[in-house]
Amino acid sequence: MEPFISNPNHKQPERFELGSWSLLIPELSVGFTGRSGGVGEAPYDGLNLAYHVGDNPAHVLENRRLLAEELGFAPESWTCGEQVHGTNIAVVRAGDAGRGYQSQQDAFQQTDGLITDVPGVLLTSFYADCVPLYFVDPVQRVVGLAHAGWKGTVAGMATAMVSRMEQEFGSRPANIHVAIGPSIGECCYEVDEKVMAQARLALPEEGDTTEPAWCSPSVHEGKTMLNLKELNRIIMIKAGILPTHIECTTWCTSCHPEFFFSYRKQNGVTGRMASWIGMKER
């Protein structure tokens, strides 16, 4: 069953929420935005949430404010990283809340992963096909969010997040729950051999399997359909996450332009959805 669900009672700004995780921490809010319900104009219509794509910054700020308030967070608690397709992770302390909210310049630089144990902080990151990875440790009350395109995935972003939660907060992998959010699916994500060679290195012991579970042949010569969600799922299990603690979406952002911005579908000029996770203050 699809874990990211659009609630008909609160449609705007459009969002798909992972409501089942409120069983883990009642104050938890976690999900992924759609493209409608914001103030942006074409080609960023309407709920673009990222500054770096060329949209009017005032529209982006207004969209962020709208979303934070709908979610029950102070807009000034919106916190994000620069996102460079790397594996750097920042631990967000109370004094860091709001970094990146009003401009890209004070976001955590060269950072694709964020972790916090501070209630009231809203962690966010931005997408138009890449894979959002969500983490929660209900025992230590820690949440995390990571942006993983193919580069971050094969560089081991998922494993790095689990390790950092262990180091910083004493999280045990067996207690961590993970979700893999809306992103481009195997149906639409055709890659060349250069990407596939890197992907095989991410799971070296499975490298000689002729047909791994995370890809399938393309109709085009020399190309492969890559399943980044499944690749991340397998990497998470190797990092010690229990298979029963992993939620994986069925949403493909490229198949649904009515709901999502897609970098590939819209030839690179488009808005960005946001993933978010945070614990509301009690």
Q: Which is nearer to Zn ion, 176 or 226 (CB)?
A: 226
Helix axis angle, 228-238 relative to 157-169, nearest 10°?
Answer: 40
Q: How far is the CB of 103 from Zn ion (least distance, A)?
A: 33
Q: How far is the CB of 20 from Zn ion (least distance, A)?
A: 24
Single out the residue of 277, 266, 261, 276 nearest to residue 130, CA to CA.
261
CA 210 to mean position of chain CA atoms: 29
- How far apart are alpha carbons 216 and 103 in whole angstroms? 40
In sequence order, the 6+-apart residues with CB closer than 8 A to the CB of 9 are none
Q: How far is the CB of 55 from Zn ion (least distance, A)?
A: 25
Q: Give the SS3 label for residue 169.
A: helix
Q: How far is the CB of 190 from Zn ion (least distance, A)?
A: 11
Surface-to-core class of residue 171, CB atoms within 10 Å of its CB (0-12 exposed, 13-18 middle, 19+ buried): buried
Q: How far is the CB of 198 from Zn ion (least distance, A)?
A: 22
Q: How far is the CB of 142 from Zn ion (least distance, A)?
A: 33
- How far apart are alpha carbons 216 and 192 in whole angstroms? 12
Q: Which is nearer to Zn ion, 134 or 251 (CB)?
A: 251
Q: Which is nearer to Zn ion, 29 or 153 (CB)?
A: 153
Q: How far is the CB of 219 from Zn ion (least distance, A)?
A: 14
Determine the residue type at 238: K
Q: Which is nearer to Zn ion, 203 or 255 (CB)?
A: 255
Q: Which is nearer to Zn ion, 26 or 257 (CB)?
A: 257
User: What one-character-per-residue DSSP string does 72-126 give?
Assistant: TS-GGGEEEB---SS--EEEE-GGGTTTTTS-GGGSBTT--EEEE--TT-EEEEE
Backbone angles phi, psi at 278, to 5 degrees: -170, 160
- How far apart are alpha carbons 2 and 210 in whole angstroms? 30
Q: Which is nearer to Zn ion, 63 or 254 (CB)?
A: 254
**Footprint of Zn ion (CB under 5 A):** 185, 187-188, 252, 254-255
Q: Which is nearer to Zn ion, 209 or 250 (CB)?
A: 250
Q: How far is the CB of 189 from Zn ion (least distance, A)?
A: 8
Q: Which is nearer to Zn ion, 21 or 261 (CB)?
A: 261
Backbone angles phi, psi at 132, to 5 degrees: -85, 130
Helix axis angle, 228-238 relative to 193-202, nearest 10°?
Answer: 20
